[in-house]
Structure 1
Amino acid sequence: PARVSALVLSACPFVDAARRAKHESMRVIDDVETRSDGAHLSELWARRQPFYPAGNADLLRRFMIDALRAGEMAAEGHRVVNRYRMEDRLGQIQCPTLVIAPTDDPHAHPAAPKVAGAIGGSVLRELSGGMVPLPDQMPEVFAGVVRDFVAGHVAGS
């Protein structure tokens, strides 16, 4: 708490016992088995495509490059998040917190009110049309919301 004066959470899931139980045996989205013919790349593209804006293949292409760089670890972030005991931690956040919820992210958007509700005094901002790649999809809007929030709290300190 002494080192964090404000916090921004973007597209944050709400991980509690129910979510951990649900996801414990589920395959995470980026978990594809590498195949020598490269078919795993098409599978990964197809699994991710519904969560990216239509007509903007560049965002999905950039994700694919990152996934290739990460190799077998590409799916690990989802596994780590799904194991986290978030319900034990969110209430401990004491600083001003902005919770950003992209409205077209079917995983993060429904959880956003729970995340914001668990953090006393937090502010929930929904960004209409935002999807999984929100910061890259809508960089000016995203940066503006973050800048305004931080500026408001720096000025108030």
Structure 2
Amino acid sequence: MNRRTALAGVLTLTTGLALAGCSSSSDRPELKVIGGFMPQPVNDMAAGFLVVQNHGNGADRLTSVTSPLSDDVTIHETKNQVMRKVTSFDVPAGGELDLERGGNHIMFAKLKQQPKQGQKVSVELHFEKAGAVKVDLPVKETTHNPKKQ
């Protein structure tokens, strides 16, 4: 009887741990990138804009961006019309991260080439939990601003 009780205890503990593991998977982010674009650059710098939607129950964090267009890609926040480099942006559970003109954005410096309107620029967004997400940003006219249309 003693062995059966011990075995039952181990099985109960194992089942509990397995269920706990399953419940934590529902706290995962489910990311989708929409509305991305890059205005055609006029010098050796460019900006990228997009929206990261999180349809999951877990928050995530954008930690960096890479691109073949530049070895110097950073993320910037804009507060009180002052732009500064940051190390990450939060992507809240059930919410979104909006990188838009006049606000938070991706900055490309020392461009290796000048992308033209109609082309696409590949970027890889790196998230703390979701990992890397590849996105192509269509290059739009220099003044393109979808929020003001």
- Is the strand fraction higher in 1 or 2? 2
Instruction: Identify the TM-score tier after normalising by the shorter chain.
Output: under 0.3
TM normalised by structure 1 equals: 0.24
- Is the helix fraction higher in 1 or 2? 1
Greater relative contact order (Cα < 8 A, sep 6+): 1
TM normalised by structure 2 equals: 0.24
